[in-house]
Structure 1
Amino acid sequence: MTNTTCYHCGDECGRHGVQFDDKDFCCNGCKTVYEIFTSNGLSTYYDIEAKAGNSPKEVRSKYDFLDNQEIVEQLVEFNEEGMQVVSLSIPSIHCSSCIWVLENLNRLHPSITASQVDFPKKTIRATYKTDGFSLKALVLLLGSIGYEPNISLESYTKKENEVDRSLIYKLGVAGFAFGNVMLLSFPEYFEVQEFWLDQYKWVFRWLMFAFSLPVVFYAAQDYFTSAYKGLRSKLLNIDVPIALGVLTLFVRSTIDIIFDLGSGFFDSLTGLVFFLLLGKFFQQKTYAYLSFERDYKSYFPIAVTRLNKDGKEENIQIYKIETGDRILIRSQEIIPVDCVLIKGTAEVDYSFVTGESQAIFKESGDKLFAGGKQLSGVLEVEVLKSVSQSYLTQLWGNSVFSKDKASQFQTITDSIGKRFTIAVLSIALLATTFWLFYDSRLALNVFTAVLIIACPCAIALAAPFTLGNMLRIFGKHKFYLKNTNALERLSKIDTAIFDKTGTLTTNQKDAIFYEGMELSEAETALLKTTLRASNHPLSRSLYDILKSNAIMTLDEFQEHTGKGIEGRANEHSIKVGSAAYVGGETSSSVANTEVYVSSDEDVKGRFVFKNKYREGVKEVFEHLGSQMELGILSGDNDGERAQLQDILPAKTEMLFNQKPENKLEYIKELQQSHKVLMVGDGLNDAGALAQSDVGVAVSENVNVFSPACDGILDASNFTKLPIFLELSKKSMKVIKMSFLFSLCYNLVGLYFAVTGQLQPVIAAILMPLSSISIVVFTTLCTNYLGKRLK
């Protein structure tokens, strides 16, 4: 009898195997999973990677503790209005097919609305409806298809990122084997013929073979796995030449000792893997440092309004919020923490968390979750947990609502890496073919040395280290980009479009004059309370200049984006906004921004703003105007056109009275022929920020966090925007210089390798050194460029 392997998981079927649908399965569990997949249209799972499944285990009773709602409350991230979000650790995630099936869970159960896999952390974040479904049902479903979660309440109180020590273990094994093989090779190195030939030749050779086994099949397994998966997916990744080199050395060396042709190249083989892993370890440590620095510095530059013990309002950095603090959440603000509603009526949009845009209403005493957006009115809340920066970062990258600009953009590494690998393989084959006819003894050495010395690792490292370090430098200067892809897109920008209010102007130094009928004390109190609920820069400026009045509770609040706001209390109403919205007549000679006020539908007057532009704005536009096209998109009237013309370059296009949808359409039209940067305040510009190639939100002293943007710039560093753009372009030059540096190294190395003058072990030492030199070069260059920001 021949042993058959399971169609689902690849294990041997044995005598208890099950046959179904002309396929062999090791147990009924695997057969059941196969039935689940095929009946739900998920049979593509087996096309992506054959026999990649996990044998399911019976886990039903094991998770009975999930019937306890108190435990569930501790595990879920979000639990509101029949919707829960949870992150689970799935240790058995191991390949592309795992990712595929876990991100298609909604096809296995209709209650699951979304699932997203974090492959490096081996976690899944699932969003599901609790009507007829639960966390326990989700866990049992995952277990039934072979992806049993690892749930431990204790683990939720510990730090998230456990250190992965597998690379250290592999490095230790390779180093131990390399040292011993070198010692065993000494008799041959020193030509101790009598000792070598007569007594211990076979012992030493087979010991070297034995030491090489854990190196090839354990320490180097990542290279083989990566190369195999790349070839299965019809991709030539950077591990293909490495895996070929290791395999060639091992097979040739084994043949040499079996047929007594020599001692083989076990010293080169073990040294190659050791130095490869050493380089990889250095890269990992260096990049982890860069990532840590960025994570630590990348607190979103958003402030919240905290009420101190005297009831006075103060703006503080978001990460200074502590449990027990009372803070204000205004209209259109993101709720940054889990909290309890004290005052106000909450109308919360949790689409940033769940993807469901249905507004949820809450009253005093109800719990609110971080990540929701308050749609209307101001809330006073008490903080239950301090802000989780990683949670806000997760919101920023949530695939539920973010437009995937990255997938539409080919990175410089992608465009060069594949061609490089093809070139290396071609050179290796041609050189080997030549030496097979000229001197066959050197053919293997040449083939292996070419593959190793021309490894494209240096090319693969240039972009992530350059861009990663530049992200860290930008973060230190209060410019926070979402990822390296956003930085690479920023370097391609040729057109910059700016919002006016809150972006070019500051609400810290506005000169505001009131023209019209005097407002009564009650009207002023209602006006200030209404303004208190709004996040628009003009609202914040008005709120700050009005005299202190008793703050009342609004019965109703509405904010009409691009038009104005309305508040109602005690059967009275106040409207603040444009003349068309309030019902007033626009001045015939408008020279400034105007905000009209009506009380109970009776127009009372207007506030005239003499906007104060940020210091250095003129210099910013002069600098940018020499490099790219500029434009202004403003929702305000054109009263400041003349003032802007003095600041802006002559050919700058200026459009006023633009609604949010007008801004979006304008950006879309521009993108037909340009790469567009949109700079706004994150409030009325969310659509334009999302549509643009790169969207940057300028933050001052209000919560302007917009997941639609690609970067957040602290308003205090607005004048450095041209330098940020310039450095993004220079970063690409550093990457290209690194490619050139790597190419020169490869050409020199290839000459010695092709001519048979380079031993594989020497190539193995030089290869990680080239990678390390690239890391050092890019780090020094980016640090030097970063000095421009000081």
Structure 2
Amino acid sequence: MGHKNCFHCGDSCKNDTLFFDDKYFCCNGCKTVYEIFSENDLTCYYDMQQSPGATPKEVEGKYDFLSNKNIIDKLTEFNDGNTQIVTLTIPHIHCSSCIWVLENLNKLNKGVTASQVNFGKKTIHITYKANVISLKDLVLLLSRIGYEPYISLEDYNTGKSTINRTLIYKLGIAGFAFGNVMFLSFPEYFELEEYWLEQYKHLFRWLMFGFSLPVVFYAGKDYFTSAYKGLKSKILNIDVPIALGLLVLFVRSTIEIMFDLGSGFFDSLTGLVFFLLLGKFFQQKTYAFLSFERDYKSYFPIAVTKLANGTETPIQVYDIKKGDRLLIRNEELIPVDGILINGNANIDYSFVTGESQAVKKQSGDKLFAGGKQTTGSMEMEALKSVEQSYLTQLWSNDVFNTNKEDKFTTLTNTISKRFTIAVLSIAIVATLYWLFTDASKAMNVFTAVLIIACPCAIALAAPFTLGNMLRIFGKLKFYIKNASVIEQLAQINTIIFDKTGTITSNKQTQVSYSGTQLSASEEVLLKSTLRSSNHPLSRALYDILDQHNIVSLNRYEEHLGQGLYGTHGNNSIKIGSASFVGQPQTTAELSTAVHISTNNTYKGKYTFYNAYRKGLSKLFHKLKPDYDLAILSGDNNSEQENLKKLLPSKTKLIFNQKPDDKLDYIKYHQSEGAKVLMVGDGLNDAGALAQSDVGIAISENINVFSPACDAILDASKLNQLYAYIKASQSAIKIIKWSFVFSLCYNLIGLYFAVTGQLMPVIAAILMPLSSISIVVFTTVATNILGKKLN
């Protein structure tokens, strides 16, 4: 065999050369990249240049600084020595093909465990094994496949995102060219002849051609790139008709001046690109504002316990300061990076990495925000204040959205593709008609139709409406994970509530004790065990017990739906249901009770008298006409008669339900066609929240929200749930009305375009105006809707 070079990277192939698809590869990595591109019709990647998989010469050595440990610590969001997480800005993300390639990095290198693209922000969130692939090698891998990241240490130090000024530059060039082309076109507009005709006509026309070149090949490049990649991936995106219109205008105008057939349509061409970019700039600015409000003002209603001078004080997470000592209970989320002081730390980082294997930590070890404590309570010292946007990012991690979103199709996705096909069809039919009727108008008609009927307004309606609703709901203490949840919430027809901690208020619960008096050491053990739990009954009981010295438990276990077990020295305690503590239950309990046994000897029970949340009865009577209602409770049926008096008739009341029973109940009703909303406390109900179409966790200043839930509702706002659901339905109506208005615009515009009465430059002005009017309509309508909710 003669000397061969790798088809992907261009390196010289050695003795271990791989041969596949009539091509040579130097290693399995290059072969894998080629296979992925080939299987998904993306081999056009190799048409760009010879050996595009090679590390570009200007990149070689450029990222050597990424081997520095201090720099890696600054750039990574999570770094436990093995698993690292980093978010990189990728300016070259253009279309769905880019997303597909970047979200399949794990096929290119086994060290990458997960990668998610944020198309709007042009970023990629990557989780990888540092012992398999380093950060430097990861960046070089991205560079080899054409997605070199933009890295600025200054931006990472300040926490500010990089401002991409490319759009501003393109807008400036297009505006400058448009103004000059219009100026050069004045003589022909006013039909000046004689001296101008003889001396300057050709010069002016070629100058207009010159001004159009940077507009088409720089300012308008993204439209061609997006359309090309979309077509190669067999996807008709909204940039296809725009790119066609630009191409037709440029080619026809160039032919006209080359053969002295006319002055062409360079004014329409440059004007079109300018107004398109102006609309995109307006869209970016508005959506960035909505994103800012969502990321930094919609704080979760969660709190953490601060330890100071021997007292425990709940504080909002965004009030945490560097140096604060925090108490993290079982199943609580670590809100900030910190150092473990004492306690049994067994941290589940699945919230961050997607991997559920817990990691044991010892005193002095570093803890990362987003980890969940799974073994009792621990004390830690905060190393920095909370970054609320980071918690938002964790909660919105696509790892936890896949199952629900796979079953759900958004309004925009169902309409946009058909709309684009319809526009192309109308443009082709109208052009063919004019070719046989008046050929001079055919190209004008084709271009005007493509421009005026661009589905940009349709593409904008949903994100602006739902984005604004996210902001409005956040101000009303209803925190929704992402925009698609609003669409799903509008479709639900069945609502299931948990009882304890959801429709009951822990703060107003009354408790009485009956049984053998506990000794001082038993009370200390009871208090210390309850301290580690976040169950609503545990928290209520912990808060009313007299203050005792807290001891560190040797062992702590929490059995969901059953109870708690803790040991200290030679003493042990069980807290929970009668069966859990070993007490035979001969008759049904007449009330909710927590039983206690120490050293396998039954002591007694604490009886809870439920206090239901304000406005609960009114809420259920509002919901009942439109929804099937049910209450699933893990408690006994002692409250059945009270609930029957409080709630509408025929409300299903089901008791003694374990967490798995709740999940199975929801799954069964979904199989019967129900769209289920589950409202729970976020702890015992995690499985049910995940299974439901929409899961809402009720928060009462407890730091236990879960990736399983789709929304967090402040407990004080539970009585507003009906209004929030109706507002979600109204938001969908606003989107549909936006589609109707957009359709009216397009039908009117199409009439003038098809009949040859609309010049492309006028269409280029009207198109962004229609998009802006849709944005204004959705913003005003949602703000009016928000005022009605206040």
TM over 0.5: yes
Letter in structure 1 aligned against 2:416: G
Q: How does 1:418-457 map to 2 (within 5 A)?
A: 418-457=417-456
What residue is the counterpart of 1:246 in the other structure? 246
Q: How does 1:352-751 map to 2 (within 5 A)?
A: 352-586=351-585, 588=587, 590-672=589-671, 673-751=673-751
Letter in structure 2 aligned against 1:678: M
* Range with bigger deviation, 554-563 or 746-755: 746-755
Q: Deviations over 1:696-724 (max 9, x none)?
A: 11100211210111111111111111111
| Offset at residue 586 of structure 1 (A) | 3.6
What residue is the counterpart of 1:168 in the other structure? 168
* Range with bigger deviation, 114-123 or 342-351: 114-123
Evaluate the alpha carbon distance shift between residue 301 and residue 168 of structure 1 in structure 2; reply closer, same or farther with a 3 A threshold: same
What residue is the counterpart of 2:49 in the other structure? none
Does the Cα contact within 8 Å between 1:56 and 1:147 map onto a contact in 2? no
| Offset at residue 259 of structure 1 (A) | 2.1
| Offset at residue 780 of structure 1 (A) | 0.8
Of 42, 46, 68, the residue aligned with 1:48 is 42
Q: Deviations over 1:737-764 (max 9, x none)?
A: 1111111121111111111111111111
Does the Cα contact within 8 Å between 1:7 and 1:51 map onto a contact in 2? no
What residue is the counterpart of 1:265 in the other structure? 265
Letter in structure 2 aligned against 1:50: C
Matched, 1:84 2:84: yes
| Offset at residue 571 of structure 1 (A) | 0.9
Letter in structure 1 aligned against 2:41: D
| Offset at residue 498 of structure 1 (A) | 0.8
Structure 2 CA distance for aligned equivalents of residues 620 and 93 of structure 1: 46
Does the Cα contact within 8 Å between 2:272 and 2:764 map onto a contact in 1? yes
Structure 1 CA distance for aligned equivalents of residues 66 and 227 of structure 2: 41
* Range with bigger deviation, 283-292 or 120-129: 120-129
Letter in structure 2 aligned against 1:467: L
Does the Cα contact within 8 Å between 1:8 and 1:51 map onto a contact in 2? no
| Offset at residue 162 of structure 1 (A) | 1.2
Letter in structure 2 aligned against 1:327: L
What residue is the counterpart of 1:36 in the other structure? 30
Structure 1 CA distance for aligned equivalents of residues 269 and 62 of structure 2: 46
Structure 1 CA distance for aligned equivalents of residues 421 and 75 of structure 2: 48
Letter in structure 2 aligned against 1:37: K
* Range with bigger deviation, 688-697 or 192-201: 192-201
| Offset at residue 144 of structure 1 (A) | 6.2
Structure 2 CA distance for aligned equivalents of residues 195 and 770 of structure 1: 42
| Offset at residue 540 of structure 1 (A) | 0.4
Q: Secondary structure at the match of 1:579?
A: coil
Q: Secondary structure at the match of 2:287?
A: helix
Evaluate the alpha carbon distance shift between residue 133 and residue 274 of structure 1 in structure 2; reply closer, same or farther with a 3 A threshold: closer
Does the Cα contact within 8 Å between 2:95 and 2:226 map onto a contact in 1? no
Q: Deviations over 1:518-557 (max 9, x none)?
A: 1122211111111110000100000010011111111111
Structure 2 CA distance for aligned equivalents of residues 631 and 559 of structure 1: 27
| Unpaired segments ≥5 residues, structure 1 | 14-18
Evaluate the alpha carbon distance shift between residue 431 and residue 139 of structure 1 in structure 2; reply closer, same or farther with a 3 A threshold: closer
Does the Cα contact within 8 Å between 1:435 and 1:443 map onto a contact in 2? yes
Structure 2 CA distance for aligned equivalents of residues 424 and 708 of structure 1: 41
Evaluate the alpha carbon distance shift between residue 403 and residue 759 of structure 1 in structure 2; reply closer, same or farther with a 3 A threshold: closer
Q: Deviations over 1:609-660 (max 9, x none)?
A: 1111100011111111121111111111111111111222212222211111
What residue is the counterpart of 2:14 in the other structure? none
* Range with bigger deviation, 248-257 or 534-543: 248-257
| Offset at residue 735 of structure 1 (A) | 0.8
Does the Cα contact within 8 Å between 1:699 and 1:715 map onto a contact in 2? yes
Letter in structure 2 aligned against 1:669: Y
| Unpaired segments ≥5 residues, structure 2 | 12-16, 47-51
Letter in structure 2 aligned against 1:277: L
Structure 1 CA distance for aligned equivalents of residues 373 and 787 of structure 2: 40
Does the Cα contact within 8 Å between 1:103 and 1:114 map onto a contact in 2? yes
* Range with bigger deviation, 382-391 or 123-132: 123-132
Structure 1 CA distance for aligned equivalents of residues 34 and 765 of structure 2: 51
Letter in structure 2 aligned against 1:168: I
Does the Cα contact within 8 Å between 1:340 and 1:368 map onto a contact in 2? yes
Evaluate the alpha carbon distance shift between residue 270 and residue 494 of structure 1 in structure 2; reply closer, same or farther with a 3 A threshold: same
Q: Deviations over 1:229-261 (max 9, x none)?
A: 221122222111111111111122122222222
Evaluate the alpha carbon distance shift between residue 768 and residue 33 of structure 1 in structure 2; reply closer, same or farther with a 3 A threshold: farther
Structure 2 CA distance for aligned equivalents of residues 525 and 128 of structure 1: 44
What residue is the counterpart of 2:754 in the other structure? 754
Letter in structure 2 aligned against 1:520: S
Letter in structure 1 aligned against 2:259: F
| Offset at residue 375 of structure 1 (A) | 0.8
Letter in structure 1 aligned against 2:694: V
What residue is the counterpart of 1:221 in the other structure? 221
| Offset at residue 272 of structure 1 (A) | 1.4
Q: Deviations over 1:331-350 (max 9, x none)?
A: 01111111111121111112
Structure 2 CA distance for aligned equivalents of residues 603 and 112 of structure 1: 52
Evaluate the alpha carbon distance shift between residue 422 and residue 6 of structure 1 in structure 2; reply closer, same or farther with a 3 A threshold: farther
* Range with bigger deviation, 555-564 or 357-366: 357-366
Evaluate the alpha carbon distance shift between residue 49 and residue 502 of structure 1 in structure 2; reply closer, same or farther with a 3 A threshold: farther
Cα RMSD, aligned residues only = 2.7
With normalisation by structure 1, the TM-score equals 0.92
Structure 1 CA distance for aligned equivalents of residues 181 and 692 of structure 2: 58
Q: Secondary structure at the match of 2:230?
A: helix
Structure 1 CA distance for aligned equivalents of residues 143 and 242 of structure 2: 37
Structure 2 CA distance for aligned equivalents of residues 642 and 606 of structure 1: 22
| Offset at residue 164 of structure 1 (A) | 1.2
Does the Cα contact within 8 Å between 1:584 and 1:603 map onto a contact in 2? yes
Q: Secondary structure at the match of 2:194?
A: helix
What residue is the counterpart of 1:344 in the other structure? 343
Structure 2 CA distance for aligned equivalents of residues 330 and 718 of structure 1: 25
| Offset at residue 370 of structure 1 (A) | 1.4
Does the Cα contact within 8 Å between 1:525 and 1:551 map onto a contact in 2? yes
| Offset at residue 143 of structure 1 (A) | 5.9
| Offset at residue 120 of structure 1 (A) | 4.8
Structure 1 CA distance for aligned equivalents of residues 276 and 63 of structure 2: 43
Does the Cα contact within 8 Å between 2:560 and 2:684 map onto a contact in 1? yes
Evaluate the alpha carbon distance shift between residue 707 and residue 444 of structure 1 in structure 2; reply closer, same or farther with a 3 A threshold: same
Structure 2 CA distance for aligned equivalents of residues 179 and 140 of structure 1: 42
Structure 1 CA distance for aligned equivalents of residues 452 and 33 of structure 2: 50
Evaluate the alpha carbon distance shift between residue 551 and residue 89 of structure 1 in structure 2; reply closer, same or farther with a 3 A threshold: same
| Offset at residue 150 of structure 1 (A) | 5.5
Evaluate the alpha carbon distance shift between residue 455 and residue 561 of structure 1 in structure 2; reply closer, same or farther with a 3 A threshold: same
Structure 2 CA distance for aligned equivalents of residues 149 and 290 of structure 1: 26
What residue is the counterpart of 2:184 in the other structure? 184
Letter in structure 2 aligned against 1:702: I
Evaluate the alpha carbon distance shift between residue 212 and residue 20 of structure 1 in structure 2; reply closer, same or farther with a 3 A threshold: farther
Q: Deviations over 1:111-151 (max 9, x none)?
A: 44333444555544443445566445545655666666555
Structure 2 CA distance for aligned equivalents of residues 273 and 140 of structure 1: 34
Structure 1 CA distance for aligned equivalents of residues 95 and 78 of structure 2: 28
Q: Secondary structure at the match of 2:506?
A: strand
